[in-house]
Structure formats: structure tokens, C-alpha cells
Structure 1
Amino acid sequence: MVRTFSRFLALGALALAMGVSAKAPEADAPVLNDRLTGALAPTHDPVLIREGDTYYVFNTIGRYIGIKTSHDLVHWQEAGSVFAELPEWATKAVPGTEGIWAPDIQRVNGEYRLYYSVSTFGSNRSAIGLATAKTLDPTSKDYGWSDKGLVVQSTHADDFNAIDPNLVIDEKGGQWLSLGSFWTGIKLFAVNPETGKVDAGTRPVSIARRPAPAGAPAPVEAPFILNHGGWYYLLVSYDYCCKGVNSTYYTVMGRSRDVKGPYLGKDGSKLMEGGGTILLRADLEEKERFRGPGHVGAFTDTDGTTYLVYHAYDREANGAPTLRIAPLTWDADGWPVAQY
């Protein structure tokens, strides 16, 4: 240490003698999250997609699916909502429901397919619906959402909860819908590619679960499957959202060569046994502003960059759920690393 310090002094003296100043290394450039501005809150359960020169975030806000837009991923503004009222089928399928939750959006067969959740808090009498649109641009003559109704539902007789949908297309073009929250965890259903729906009688595959110790809750929810480099990465949220700064949400991941699993973390731990590798988690409470990062979506841009979009609770804004976006890099073993 003495030798290192003496060398530092010598270099400093040499710099002064040469008429230049000794500078500390420049700080790292701000990450994307540090530059976000505009209509960032409230935002829950966001998903990201791009059409033309506009990025769209669809999210849970109020009673309906809210829309935010940006031309640069930095400056965001509100852009209305998908629905003006609850679909009639939804109020019949889930009596007592007052809103629509947790959207997912993909472009499939020349149209945008937006999946959404209908439920009442804490119940697994739930349903997932589908709405389609030719374009996301509200100034286009072709703009408009068409509700296609029920995709799949759960009742008190089922061991899963039909919320938090995510559509993934496998390497052979097969379509799958992951979903789930609490109960026996995350399920995967085969989807009819023509209708975008789950055919009657289709049985789900279990892909993630957290066995509960002594009957205590062990939450797992909000699945998203990212297809990259010959692997399927299952991203899920553990623990509790929706508690403001007291939220304990964090995001874990596992991967598999088969979309149906099994999904394993870096250490070989099984997501079917509550394992996995942490992707997003808030730092120590006294150091971290944004709490409970979770309910992620992933989007790969035209330049090949993949972004995670998620919500977290802002300690400096009374715990408001806030939009967050983190570019992904990939380590030497092919695992994603979030720049957040």
C-alpha cells in the first residue's frame, strides 16, 4: 500500500511538472433509468413495444389498460387507454371485477395482440382476454381495438390463477401463453395461432413454483419468457408487490432449451422448487430509492438491444409505482445482465 501511494504521489508530481492536472477517472455514464422523464408514474405491470418511430408502454393504470408513448425511450407522455369500459363478457365471467390488469402485447400474423387480466384481488376466479389492433398509431385511419373475448380462465376449482399473461413464440413457430400468480405457480398453455386463444380441453404445463413452508405463502407471479440465443429465459417475480416502499418484489430467472422447461438458474436450482438466479432486486433499504422492482417485460429493438421494462416503487414520491427501463447485456455464459 505504501508503494502504491508513493507511486500515486510521484505521478501527481510528474503531472504538475508537465503543466497538466491529475484527474480522477470519469464517472460512468448515467444508465437509462437515470435519464427517464415525463409520465413515469403511476405505472404498474408495463410491457414495451415499438411501431415505426414510436415506443409504446401498455400498463395497469386506473381501471383500464393505459398507454404511454416515447420517441427516444427517455421522454414519456400519457396517450390514453385501450378500453373505455369493461368488456361485457368480463363482468359476467368474473363478477365483482372493477378493472383490467397486467397487459402483454405482441405483433402476430400482421396484427397486434394484447392480452389482459380480469380478476378480483386475492381470488383465482380470473380470466385472460384478448384485444387486437391493426396499428398502434391513434392518428391512423386503421386505428382501433377489437375485443376478442375470453382466452382462458380459472375458477375456485382450479389450482392456478389466470392472470399476468405473456405470449411467447417458440423456435418452430408454436405459440404459448404463460400465466399465473400464487396458488401452484406459473403455468404454460399451448395457444391456437389462428385465434390467439387456448382451445377447450388444453391442459397446462407447470413451469415455476415456490413450495410454501408450513402452508405460508411463497409468492411467484408475472411470468415473461424471453427467447434468445437458442435458450428460453423464464423471468418471474418473487414475493410481494403493491405495498409501496414496503414492497419486497424482486425478479429471478431460469433458462431451458425447451419452452416447456425445466427452467434452471445459473447454479442449477429449479424454478419448480423456488430456485433461480436474481436478475433485479433493490439494494439495501437505506441506499436504494426504487423498491420492489418486478413484473418485467422484455423487448428487443431494431438494433438488437433488448430492454427490460418493469415497475418499482419510488421512495421519493410516496412510494408511487414508477416506470423503469433497463438495457440487457449478456455475460460469457449467455445469461442476461440488467443495466439498472
Structure 2
Amino acid sequence: MSATERPHHRRSRRAFRPATVLACLAMLVVPALPAAAVDQTRRAGHVSTTTGDDGLLGSLPVGDVVDPGPQQNYPLPGLVTGDLRAHDPSMVRTPEGYRLFATHDGVQLRTSPDRVNFQRNAAALASIPQWVYDRSPGGDVWAPDISYHNGTYWLYYSASTFGSNNSAIGLATSTSGQPGSWQDRGVVYSTNSGSNHNAIDPSLLVTGGNWWLSFGSHWTGIKLIRIDPATGLRHSTDRTVHSLASRPSAGGAVEAPYILEHDGDYFLFVSFDRCCAGTNSTYRIMVGRADNPTGPYRDRNGTAMTSGGGTQILASHQNIIGPGGQSVLRDSDGDLLVYHYYDANNSGIERLGVNLLGWDDQGWPYVY
């Protein structure tokens, strides 16, 4: 299959981001989950209720705990309510509660006081910049990534069209994070039809004083570039494009990278296979581990992710079809995996999924 024929698929989609936001917001207090919601989720048998150091009740309703080894019986998503039709969600915690950003409509924005009930707000972007229309004639934007650093909210997002790698990743910033408050900072990285990779699905990692942006979909897979912390744009002197993961024997079907640092290791979460086809979706969440942000990332069996490796941690089960487009929010009660899936019990519509991540005795993540 030629590069121009490769299915890009993703557009309508993805989920919650910032692994670095907790340190930046450590002093912020979010209202505790209402008692009625706690009681409801306890009755459902899906709630953890520890209290974090910041006073936030760690009350995310989660699925039943399962064995952290190879899994077939994955847990159901935790309880969430309200407006849940979100693709490619990325979430940040703020003094007022949580903000969830998602694909489409000028970057969809939802708010929640408790990480359970989500309400749709006005679009994050008051206007769409011209560089988006140069890649997406309809002005659609995809796969946002939200984080908070140095008193500023950083929103990376992408513009493309289905199946094309004439794509670009842009940046908008805001000091409040409110709808319409975002200032366009322009294009961070772009690709065209002659490129061997695709500039979509951005995700920011901040570690050891360095900023890194992972991105990519199909073609030659997942890439990583260095970012200037002063501007949020591409580093002016370090221009290396690192390759992190690819699937040469599977039509290039890997995308939606998110890198999480845990206990000195780096974990690359990606989505394999097909998104955005309702109950025909075959998305699944995979992970690999490395000593450095730039890799090499390997799965449990030692297979390099650049050679198609990856350890599966979540896939279709019961009515949960094609989970993927994932990100991770580091919150007071643990690492929260945020993703979308298609609901086989509700006409295959997209829905927000959330679960906590656990860590086994070999240091690998699992979903519970």
C-alpha cells in the first residue's frame, strides 16, 4: 500500500493527558466528590475512596481489580456521566475542577468538578488559525494535548484530513484555560505528502528540565522531537527526529503516543489498529518501556516497538469496543488512564473511558 493510501483513520477521536500537571498544580485544591456520587458508585462496586495530600477525595469509580498479567477479562470503565461523546480526550486539573479537551469543533471543552460528571462548554479556540485551513479545508482540529507549566496552560493540537499526511501540529497558550482565552502560537511541526511520517496526535513530556513532543500516525510511526520550554515551539538547535515505534508488518497502524515517567522509567502508550469505525473498531492500547525518553522502547518480551513490539493492556471486552486514543492524568489518587471507546450497547457511539493504572512487581502498568 502506498503512503497516500494508508488509512489515517483517526478523525473523530482521543482522551486525558498531563503526566506532569500534578507537580505544577500541587497547591491547587479541587472540590471533593459529592457524597451522593460516592454513595452511588459504592453501591455499584466501582469506587476507591482514599484522600490525597491536597484534600482531594481520591474517589474515581473504577472497574473491578483484575490480575495484572496477560488479560482477557479487562475491567469496565469507571463511572462517568454527562456529555461523554469525546474523541481523543486529554484532561488537566485546575483550581475549579477538571477540564477535558477533545477532537473537533475548535477543540471541544468539557468541565467537571469531580472527575465524574462532565458538562460541555464553549470551544477552547475562539477562532481557527489560517495554518489549520491550509491542511484541513473545513477547519477541523484533532487530538488535543493539554498540560500546565510555569503558570501557563499549553494546548497542542493537530490539523489534517482523513488518510493524509499533509498535516501540522500547532500550539495555543492561555493563563486561565478558559474558552476563548487561547492565543495561537503557530505551527510547531508539519509534514507533507512527501514525508515518511505524519504530524498529528501530539503529546508533551516534561522531564529533567527538558521538553519533548511525541506524535505520529501510520506511515513510519511514532516520532519524538525536542521542544524549547521558553516558547513551546520546536527546539532551535536540537533538530533530531527520534523514531519510537512503528508497525511495518501491519500497515503502519500505530498512533496516539503518550509518554509517562514512572519510577525512573519511561512508558510509551500507543494505540494499535483501527479507530473511528464504531463497533467495527479494533483499537487497543499497547505499552513499551525505556530508560530514556528517546528510547529504545521494548515490550515485556524484549521486542522493540520500532519492530512492531508492544504489550497490550486494554482491548475490546463486553460492550467496550476499540478502546484507545489514550492519555494519562497524574492525579492525587494515582495515574488515570483516559481514552475513548465505542459502546456496543448504545449504537456504537463514542464515549469517554477512565480507569486507574496499577503497577505490577516488574514495574509494568495494568488497568483496573
Task: Give the TM-score, by structure 1 length.
Answer: 0.83
> Which residues of 2 match residues 142-291 of structure 1 at below 5 A?
144-170=181-207, 172-199=208-235, 202-212=239-249, 217-283=251-317, 288-291=318-321
Q: 1:234 to 1:135 in 2, by over 3 A?
A: same
Q: Secondary structure at the match of 1:72?
A: coil
Whether 2:72 is the aligned partner of 1:29: answer no
Q: Partner of 1:316 in structure 2?
A: 345
Q: CA offsets, 1:202-226, max 9 Å, x none?
A: 230000011126xxx2300000001
Whether 2:367 is the aligned partner of 1:330: answer no
Q: Secondary structure at the match of 1:86?
A: coil
Q: Secondary structure at the match of 2:313?
A: strand
Q: 1:298 to 1:95 in 2, by over 3 A?
A: closer
Q: Distance in 2 between matches of 1:137 and 1:239?
A: 34
Q: CA deviation at 1:67?
A: 0.8
Whether 2:112 is the aligned partner of 1:70: answer yes
Q: CA deviation at 1:198?
A: 1.1
Amino acid corresponding to residue 114 of structure 1 in structure 2: L
Q: Distance in 1 between matches of 2:195 and 2:240?
A: 12
Q: Secondary structure at the match of 2:107?
A: strand
Structure having greater relative contact order (Cα 8 Å, sep ≥ 6) = 2
Q: Partner of 1:82 in structure 2?
A: 124
Amino acid corresponding to residue 279 of structure 2 in structure 1: V
Give the fraction of aligned pairs with identical amino acids, expressed as a percent: 41
Q: Partner of 1:49 in structure 2?
A: 92
Whether 2:330 is the aligned partner of 1:300: answer yes
Q: 1:108 to 1:316 in 2, by over 3 A?
A: same
Q: 1:137 to 1:275 in 2, by over 3 A?
A: same
Asked whether the 8 Å contact 1:164–1:180 carries over to 2, the reply is yes
Runs of 5+ in structure 1 lacking a partner? 1-25
Q: Secondary structure at the match of 1:44?
A: coil
Q: 1:210 to 1:176 in 2, by over 3 A?
A: same
Q: 1:304 to 1:231 in 2, by over 3 A?
A: farther
Q: Secondary structure at the match of 2:256?
A: strand
Q: Distance in 1 between matches of 2:343 and 2:153?
A: 31
Q: Which moved more, 1:272-281 or 1:246-255?
A: 272-281
Q: Distance in 2 between matches of 1:95 and 1:272?
A: 29
Asked whether the 8 Å contact 1:98–1:120 carries over to 2, the reply is no
CA RMSD of the aligned region, Å?
Answer: 1.9
Q: Distance in 1 between matches of 2:217 and 2:98?
A: 28
Runs of at least 4 residues of structure 1 off by over 4 A? none
Q: Distance in 1 between matches of 2:43 and 2:112?
A: 27
Asked whether the 8 Å contact 2:78–2:353 carries over to 1, the reply is no
Q: Partner of 1:22 in structure 2?
A: none
Q: 1:322 to 1:95 in 2, by over 3 A?
A: closer
Q: CA deviation at 1:137?
A: 4.6
Q: CA offsets, 1:69-100, max 9 Å, x none?
A: 111111111122112332123223x2635300
Asked whether the 8 Å contact 1:97–1:119 carries over to 2, the reply is no
Q: CA offsets, 1:89-134, max 9 Å, x none?
A: 3223x26353000000111222010000010111100000000010
Q: Partner of 1:126 in structure 2?
A: 167
Q: Distance in 1 between matches of 2:323 and 2:136?
A: 31
Q: CA deviation at 1:51?
A: 0.4
| Alignment equivalent of 2:103, drawn from 50, 60, 68 | 60
Q: Secondary structure at the match of 1:210?
A: coil
